[in-house]
Structure 1
Amino acid sequence: MKKKIALIGYGALSKIFLDLFKDYLADDYEINGILIRNDEKRREAEENGYKTYKTLDELHLHNPDYVAEFASASAIKEYAVDILNKGVNLIIISVGALEDNSFYDKIQNSAKNSGAKIHIASGAIGGFDLMRTFSLDPNAIAKIQTSKSPESWAGAPYLENKNLSKTEKEIIFQDNAKKAIKGFPKNVNVAVATSIAVSGVENTQVELISNPKSKDNTHKIFLESKVAKATIEITAKKDLNNPKSSVITAWSVVALLKNINDVVMFF
């Protein structure tokens, strides 16, 4: 029997996921609906043959096995506890919501009580297997450097009233992951993902770079523990419809769902 997946959101990444779904997941899963608040987007989804929901209650009526979030940190904060309390597994891409330690604890408790699982998609980075291995050392160190074009940083609260150079590479932020997600809520999910996988949002240092020559989004992760050092570098194609996001984020959700269903699991 196929497992049922409901989505939250119908933006660029959600649409990429739905296109990939047909080729990679359709044998084992089925899409049983999409939660969309925006009327215009909901009509578009329905015209493309998808069942839609206006509310989370409607979504629950169709008993999904998994809910995959392609929306925002605010959507995670609004819906996650209710989804997990119902015993439904939740896939998160807006990992920035988890910088709030009390909220992160709350959803973990909901999952433990209901038996549901929280799956953190690797998104635009990778190496979660290494990160979790390094995290066994309580003194492990994690740092992340992200480089994007100036337009990819546009609209960040931290950069309000600041003009980024269109010709020169510049460091625009240096501090921990908790402060990074506050100042760049739509840009640095990768920093929060790295921090919660290793050493926590207060203990993970973040450096953000604006580079006019960058065509894509580049992330470098530096890990160190008492047994090893590692550097992970990923350059991901940015979504042309949303340059703040990387296309590979949607692919990572496909890979996660395939891994869940495969008899061989790589981590």
Structure 2
Amino acid sequence: MSLVSVIGAGSLANVFANVLHDFLPEFKLHSVLARNQEKAQVFASKYNCSAVFSFEDFLKNAAPVVVELAGGAALKEYTLPILKSGRTLICLSSGAFTDDAFKQEAICTAAKNNGRICIVNGAIGGLDFLQTCALQRGASEVVIETTKSPKSLLGAPALEGKTLDLTKKMVVFEGGVQEAIKGFPKNINVGVITALASENPHTKVKIVSDPEVHSNTHKIIYRSALADAVMEFSGKPDPANPKSSTTAALSAAACLKNLYSPISFW
């Protein structure tokens, strides 16, 4: 049985833990780190693991694999120490890697200490195709269009001081991936993942608010001299966290399974 530690005790962490408990018995949760002590204690009791409230204490005894399900700020704070300890870090909040200096430091730290960074696909797929095409090192055009309900976009920094019409379909953002993740940090990690996998920092992001939708839909358009592709993914919002999709947490579990499985699909 392989041990796993998690950072975060919110809705996505619970989805991840439930998958391990119900479908991946070869894994056992070892510990959880969360700022909210009450949530961490409830989580630990439910999944029979230890709750830790200090990162220093967490790192002393964490499992060989740590799964981040706590948001970009937590990922940025904890990534380097985890990698320095030689552990594998499975990341859900990929938006932190729009900071190129941080990304390069994380890569170097992992390389020097036999650590590993696994950025999961979250609510989308097709990253294998994007990575394959990126090997050509030629020019490419990458666009990702995300459509969500207006309620899931409320609270985004880009909408501060603005009135979002909750009754009609409208484009709320068009621009580069770095600007997108700053304006919608809880909505557009998929844009960052797309840019990283395609190795295209000029990936364009379009965010659409649509009151008629009941799913989070992400459409990736890729064009280059090598290949063209249109990939569309539609996942139901997590009931406890409509800003994210349930498949985001499932992708972390799938990544964990691939790390230890004698056969993997890439």
Structure 2 length normalisation: TM-score?
Answer: 0.96
Where do 1:1-267 residues align within 5 Å? 2-27=1-26, 29-48=27-46, 49-138=48-137, 139-201=139-201, 203-267=202-266
Return the alpha-carbon distance in structure 1 between the equivalents of residues 38 and 224 of structure 2.
Answer: 50
Other structure's SS at 2:3 match: strand
Other structure's SS at 2:174 match: strand
Deviation sequence 1:49-101 (CA, Å, 0-9, x none): 33111122222222411000000100011000000000000000000000000
Other structure's SS at 2:5 match: strand
Return the alpha-carbon distance in structure 2 between the equivalents of residues 173 and 185 of structure 1.
Answer: 13
Q: Contact 1:67–1:89 (CA<8 Å) still a contact in 2?
A: yes
Other structure's SS at 2:28 match: strand
Return the alpha-carbon distance in structure 1 between the equivalents of residues 17 and 251 of structure 2.
Answer: 13
The letter for the 1-side match of 2:256 is L
Deviation sequence 1:183-203 (CA, Å, 0-9, x none): 1111100000000111333x0
Return the alpha-carbon distance in structure 1 between the equivalents of residues 35 and 146 of structure 2.
Answer: 32
Return the alpha-carbon distance in structure 2 between the equivalents of residues 57 and 4 of structure 1.
Answer: 19
Deviation sequence 1:112-161 (CA, Å, 0-9, x none): 00111100111101111001012123312211000000001000111112
CA apart distance, 1:23? 2.5
The letter for the 1-side match of 2:246 is V
Gaps of at least 5 residues in structure 2 are: none
CA apart distance, 1:30? 1.8
CA apart distance, 1:224? 1.5
The letter for the 1-side match of 2:37 is D
Deviates more, 1:208-217 or 1:159-168: 159-168
Deviates more, 1:187-196 or 1:57-66: 57-66
Return the alpha-carbon distance in structure 1 between the equivalents of residues 263 and 4 of structure 2.
Answer: 21
The letter for the 2-side match of 1:38 is N
Q: Cα RMSD between the aligned structures?
A: 1.2
Return the alpha-carbon distance in structure 2 between the equivalents of residues 14 and 113 of structure 1.
Answer: 29
Return the alpha-carbon distance in structure 1 between the equivalents of residues 2 and 260 of structure 2.
Answer: 10
Other structure's SS at 1:215 match: coil
- How many residue pairs match? The answer is 264
Other structure's SS at 1:173 match: strand
CA apart distance, 1:255? 1.0
Gaps of at least 5 residues in structure 1 are: none
Other structure's SS at 1:105 match: helix
Q: Contact 1:5–1:67 (CA<8 Å) still a contact in 2?
A: yes
Deviates more, 1:143-152 or 1:32-41: 32-41
